[in-house]
Amino acid sequence: MKFLLALAVVAVIVLVLLKKKSKEGNKHIRHKTPRKRASQAAANRDQANFQATKIVPGDNACQAARDLQDKLFLDSELNTPKLPLPECTQVSDCHCKYDHQGDRRSDEDDRRLHTLQTELYPATEGANRRRQKRGRRATD
């Protein structure tokens, strides 16, 4: 009987220690992961939507490659033609390349610059654009 009681006490102690150890392990893992990961992923996904590829004709390029040299193919649409082009007349000696473009949007077309805040507080008013607040007393 004493043996079973001692065995039960040891089992309870082992379970308590294992639970405590597993909770400490989970806390350690949580602190390792950065909190901004979701926002960084969203920013990368947003940038990836506007990346493009351009075909750069090589030396002695065929007319099909020269016709496409100024055209941008949006990567998110997956419509960039494979090289060598199907219409290529220089298949065995094709030196055409892809030129990968980053986010092609410019700040000139950024609509976030024209927000309500910029309309309410023009830059000409200076840094101190807040009114002076009065206190509760008449002498303030």
Tokens of 38: 């979701």
Residue 27 structure tokens: 């806390």
Q: Which residues contact 73 (CB under 8 A, 6 or more apart)?
A: 52, 53, 54, 55, 79, 80, 81
Reported confidence tier of residue 62, pLDDT bands at 50, 70, 90: very high
pLDDT digits (tens, 9 = 90+) for 9-40: 999 998 888 887 776 655 545 555 555 565 56
Distances in Å between the alpha carbon of 89 and those of 60, 65, 86?
10, 10, 9
pLDDT at 56 > cutoff 90: yes
Q: Quick count: other Cβ atoms within 10 Å of Cβ 67?
A: 14
pLDDT of residue 98: 94
Structure tokens at 24: 């400490």
On whether the pTM is more than 0.85, the answer is no
**Is the pLDDT at 102 greater than 90, yes or no?**
no
